[in-house]
Amino acid sequence: MSNEEEEDVNFKPGVEISSGKANYVVSRLLGEGGFGAVYLVKDTKTNKTFAMKVEQKMEKRKHSKLKMEIAILKLVGAGKHFTQIVDRGKKDKEGYFFLVMELVGKSLGDLKNERAERVFSFGTGLGVASQCLEAVEDLHRTGFIHRDLKPQNYACGLDEKRHNIYILDFGIARKYLNTKNELKTPREAVGFKGTVRFAPLACHRFTELGPRDDCESWFYLLLDLILPRGLPWRKMNEKGEVLKEKEECRKEKRDKLFYGIKHASELNKILDYIDS
């Protein structure tokens, strides 16, 4: 494969992309991830704005993240916590896939960081997190787990949908049910996937994840939104060190985990419930 083929798609503002359905013009880059980029685009006929996620086609990449996202968004259908698919396509000559979807607003991570105290109030955090959990529940019903829940992968809607929370980025989601709706046989060893700060214990231990592990990441997300001092392992990068801290926070460091917030006993119960 030539270097040229491996170069990432890099759209400048003004670039036009046409599909069988519509013509889109790129306004600006919204964000970049490991496998592609998301652009703000406008339908040139209707002037409506959307988000376009673009992924470079690569022979060496066995599984397209974008195809996975499209498959999941199709499965969940009109779920209120999922961005609706507007259009999708493949550009064989230019070598990329694209997905045009409903445009959403800022991520929970960005909204939290914009606050002076870099934290939501307990009430806001709880309200937001309960919508985040609803979204995961809807996803689990389709037989998939997300495996990378974090404030950066949730966003608020726009305008009249500004109080609605959307779940984003299904690039490392995995099917946990087989065609008979039974749990798939767990693999013996699994590579670390996801984000160290929000990873469940099972991920650190290289074992197969299931729906409960998404719930564990969701619980870390809830704490991240409301803890004035952040998660106890927020400054650690080394996976082994983070695992040790997460384990200790189950035992002698429980108080440290919930330091500075009310309703610690209820939060304790939620963590025990997830762990059991």
Q: What is the 8-class DSSP label of residue 23? A: E
Beta strands 23-32 and 36-43: pairing type?
A: antiparallel
Which residue in 99, 101, 135, 227 binds ligand ATP (CB under 6 A)? 101
Say how far apart CA 10 and CA 22 lie, in whole Å.
21
Task: Tell which positions 3-32 bind ligand ATP, by CB under 6 A.
Answer: 30-31
Q: Which listed range, 98-106, 174-182, 213-221, 231-239, lies at the site for ligand ATP (CB under 6 A)?
A: 98-106
Q: Residue 158: exposed, middle, or buried by beta-carbon count in 10 A (0-12, 13-18, 19+)? A: middle
| Catalytic residue list contains 148 | yes
Name the minimum Å distance from CB 216 to ligand ATP.
Answer: 19
Which residue in 22, 27, 35, 134 binds ligand ATP (CB under 6 A)? 35
Name the minimum Å distance from CB 212 to ligand ATP.
Answer: 22
Task: Tell which positions 219-238 bind ligand ATP, by CB under 6 A.
Answer: none
| 54 makes contact with ligand ATP (CB under 6 A) | no
| 85 makes contact with ligand ATP (CB under 6 A) | no
Which residue in 155, 173, 215, 223 binds ligand ATP (CB under 6 A)? 155
| 87 makes contact with ligand ATP (CB under 6 A) | no
Please work out the total of residues on this chain that contact ligand ATP, with binding judged by CB under 6 A.
19
Nearer to ligand ATP, 171 or 210 (CB): 171
User: Which entry of 87, 138, 148, 213 is annotated as an active-site residue?
Assistant: 148
Beta strands 85-91 and 49-56: pairing type?
A: unpaired
Q: Which listed range, 56-64, 133-141, 167-175, 261-269, lies at the site for ligand ATP (CB under 6 A)?
A: 167-175
* Residues 1 and 59: beta-carbon distance below 8 Å: yes
Say how far apart CA 84 and CA 161 lie, in whole Å.
13
Binding-site residues from annotation: 53
CA torsion angle 79 272 249 134 (round to 10): 10
Secondary structure class of 134 (helix, strand, coil): helix
| 104 makes contact with ligand ATP (CB under 6 A) | yes
Binding-site residues from annotation for ATP: 53
Which residue in 86, 96, 100, 169 binds ligand ATP (CB under 6 A)? 169
Please give the helix or strand (H or E) that residue 271 lies within, else none: helix 264-275
| 145 makes contact with ligand ATP (CB under 6 A) | no
| 107 makes contact with ligand ATP (CB under 6 A) | yes
| 168 makes contact with ligand ATP (CB under 6 A) | yes
DSSP 136-199: HHHHHHTTEE-S---GGGEEE--GGGTT-EEE---TT-EE-B-TTSSBPPPPS-----S-GGG-
Say how far apart CA 135 and CA 46 lie, in whole Å.
30
| 171 makes contact with ligand ATP (CB under 6 A) | yes
Half-sphere exposure for 219 (CA within 13 Å, toward CB)? 24
Binding site for ligand ATP (CB under 6 A): 30-31, 33-36, 38, 51, 65, 83, 101-104, 107, 155, 168-169, 171
Return the active site residues: 148
